[in-house]
Structure 1
Amino acid sequence: MSTVISAKPVLLATPGRGEDLQVRVSAPATGCGLPVVVFSHGYGWSMNGYAPLADHWAAHGFVVVQPTHLDSRTLGIPAEDPRTPRMWRFRIEDLTRVLDGLDALEASVPGLDGRLDRDRIAVAGHSWGAQTASALLGARVLGPDGVPGEDMSDPRVKAGVLLALTGLGDDLTPFAAEHFPFMKPSFATMTTPALIVAGDNDQSHLSTRGPDWFTDPYTYSPSDKSLLTLFGAEHSLGGIPGYEVAETTDESPARVALLQRLTTAYLRSALLGEDTDWKAAATALEADPAPLGNLRSK
């Protein structure tokens, strides 16, 4: 584990967005050829959230870039703002903007210049952030006619970690179907490798189905994918948005620690080709007499 350096807010000029993109960059204090993880926060959060994951990944050798999306409570944009209907697209564009601005981000953090490996990039996200990240992996939004919309995948992204990603739009409640038309995904073209994490007690008020709705991204996407199902976990997956935050209804330090280990091992495997930790973590989970979850892959 390394000492972590962090800089915020780093601003990326973003014409047409109405606000420059605010970003937090965290990185290990030493090392070169560092892989990059771009993390998309859940609804209302910001670059300041998700410390249990962002800090852990940075301490274990990754440069973690966290943009603040327009829905963040820190920006205070009202629901009637004309950008609201396109908020989901602005989110995806934020991640692309981060990838386009890696040179500027690298130069803005003291001691980081020249240490990034641009050939080893992953995207990650939680909840709405997972949906945002999935677009760069190849997921697409179905139009009213059921035809997949624009392909917003990015070849620079080599892997993903999708936490509590919502399922198919056929199972939305009437309210969600009316107000969130972007929640109608197709995972058929989500070809980039990814680890998908679902809680088996995550009952969404947006879906008519039970917690298995959150396994759809695994079921309906092509390989190479892995699915980690966490037993007893609700939408915060034990507390990944932050320490002692009000949104966490299922606080479990053990569950968060498992997620830290498994996501780190997965990222090292997917980006660096270091499979030892990933295989060991999977074996340990399977052998545990009282496991916190199960893992399967295709």
Structure 2
Amino acid sequence: MPTPAPARRLVAVAPLLVPSTGRGADLHVKVTAPAGGRDLPVLVFSHGNAWSMDGYGPLVARWAAAGFVVVQPTHLDSRRYGIGVDDPRFPGIWRTRIADLHAVLDHLGDLLEQVPGLPGRADPARVAVAGHSWGGQSTGALLGARVLPPAGDPEEDFRHPAVRAGALLAAPGTGESLTAFAREHLPFMRPDFSTLTTPTLVVAGGRDDSALSTRGPDWFTDAHVLSPAPTRLLTIAEGEHTLGGLAGEAVRETTDEDADRVALVADAVAAHLLDVLTGDGTAWREVEERARRSREAGGPGVFDVEASPVPAVSRW
């Protein structure tokens, strides 16, 4: 059973406008933060396909309660814009998503100044990114992963100098096993993890069978297996693509609703990021202990964690 979230008053402000160019629509974000506290780390979160800054409430509230300032942009693939795979703008949205994240980070200081009571309390030296599904590929680019086109050289390096840590939740794997539909409509879904060098937590569901890949759930572990970065992997045996309902309660995409599972994912992400950003590994050791007890108990709620064979993240 996941531990309760810290009892903490939160403040949320939306929409806030971020300066941007070439996207055909204003870039809006939502900021959620603790009402008190100082030296707060910042987490920029990229939503999955069709979602927006208004989703992922269970995750965001728990992260903010853990002490993070969470910034959520709305990307162009959000349902509110109605841009489908047949829209001529769709093939370039993967680039626009990455540009959105860069714009947020480039204007982070001015953005947080607009949140009442927040100026001076966030720590611009402690910045992380996280993303779910397509948002995982978007944030992976800021962590060092590149995109391999069907032919030719890899795309440019999209890393951002402010980003010190990351988390990829049900993020797509490499492109060799894409289905015919994905090859035709999502040719950019070909990440190269050999250049991902930022400490990263990868979260995957043991029942996440994607219609975009001919492989099974292990497709979503590629960032952990193939990255040279110090990565950690959280595997949830019964987790499907929304890992229990990350985007919200009773939403139509959730096929495995489990509030405890969502809390576990939120806590593991927060623990990993705090370890990397602050050097305090206490919360991560608690996640490891919970994983040990889960393995021993067995049953449908089992989950596990492992680290890549590199020096512990807490030493960085």
1:224 and 2:234 aligned = no
- 1:54 is aligned to 60
Q: Distance in 1 between matches of 2:293 and 2:65?
A: 27
- After alignment, is 75-84 or 148-157 more displaced? 75-84
Following TM superposition, by how much is the alpha carbon of 1:287 offset from its aligned partner in structure 2, in angstroms? Answer: 2.8
- 1:174 is aligned to 180
1:296 and 2:310 aligned = no
- 1:186 is aligned to 192
Following TM superposition, by how much is the alpha carbon of 1:280 offset from its aligned partner in structure 2, in angstroms? Answer: 2.0
Look up the equivalent residue of 1:47 and give its one-letter code: M
1:287 and 2:293 aligned = yes
On the 8 A contact 1:200/1:231 being kept in 2, the answer is: yes
Matches within 5 A, 1:226-265: 226-265=232-271
Q: Distance in 1 between matches of 2:229 and 2:21?
A: 37
Q: Distance in 1 between matches of 2:272 and 2:224?
A: 16
TM-score norm. by structure 2 comes to 0.91
Q: Structure 1: which 4+ aligned runs deviate by more than 4 Å?
A: 78-81
Following TM superposition, by how much is the alpha carbon of 1:283 offset from its aligned partner in structure 2, in angstroms? Answer: 2.0
On the 8 A contact 2:33/2:68 being kept in 1, the answer is: yes
Look up the equivalent residue of 1:295 and give its one-letter code: V
Look up the equivalent residue of 2:100 and give its one-letter code: D
On the 8 A contact 2:19/2:103 being kept in 1, the answer is: no
Report the count of equivalent residues.
298
1:105 and 2:111 aligned = yes
1:43 and 2:49 aligned = yes
- 1:139 is aligned to 145
On the 8 A contact 1:255/1:292 being kept in 2, the answer is: no
Deviations 1:131-158 (A, max 9, x none): 1000000000112335321110112100
Residues 37 and 261 (structure 1), Cα distance of their counterparts in 2 relative to 1, 3 Å cut: same
Following TM superposition, by how much is the alpha carbon of 1:231 offset from its aligned partner in structure 2, in angstroms? Answer: 0.7
1:90 and 2:93 aligned = no
- One of 211, 219, 225 as aligned partner of 1:213: 219
Deviations 1:256-285 (A, max 9, x none): 121122122112111111101101211221
On the 8 A contact 1:40/1:67 being kept in 2, the answer is: yes
- 2:120 is aligned to 114
3-state SS of 2:94 partner: helix
3-state SS of 1:37 partner: strand
Following TM superposition, by how much is the alpha carbon of 1:166 offset from its aligned partner in structure 2, in angstroms? Answer: 0.8
Q: Distance in 2 between matches of 1:221 and 1:80?
A: 33
Residues 246 and 179 (structure 1), Cα distance of their counterparts in 2 relative to 1, 3 Å cut: same
Unaligned 5+ segments in structure 1 are none
Q: Distance in 2 between matches of 1:78 and 1:260?
A: 30
- 1:160 is aligned to 166
Q: Distance in 2 between matches of 1:237 and 1:206?
A: 17
TM-score norm. by structure 1 comes to 0.97
Unaligned 5+ segments in structure 2 are 1-5, 309-316
3-state SS of 2:241 partner: coil
Give identity over the alignment, percent.
53
Following TM superposition, by how much is the alpha carbon of 1:105 offset from its aligned partner in structure 2, in angstroms? Answer: 1.1
On the 8 A contact 1:39/1:125 being kept in 2, the answer is: yes
- 1:75 is aligned to 81
Q: Distance in 2 between matches of 1:104 and 1:262?
A: 30
Following TM superposition, by how much is the alpha carbon of 1:104 offset from its aligned partner in structure 2, in angstroms? Answer: 1.9
Q: Distance in 2 between matches of 1:263 and 1:16?
A: 32
Q: Distance in 1 between matches of 2:146 and 2:246?
A: 26
On the 8 A contact 2:179/2:212 being kept in 1, the answer is: yes
Q: Distance in 2 between matches of 1:141 and 1:258?
A: 30
Following TM superposition, by how much is the alpha carbon of 1:292 offset from its aligned partner in structure 2, in angstroms? Answer: 2.4
Matches within 5 A, 1:18-33: 18-33=24-39
3-state SS of 1:91 partner: helix
Look up the equivalent residue of 2:251 and give its one-letter code: V
Look up the equivalent residue of 1:103 and give its one-letter code: G
Q: Distance in 2 between matches of 1:93 and 1:228?
A: 28
On the 8 A contact 2:83/2:89 being kept in 1, the answer is: no
3-state SS of 1:11 partner: strand
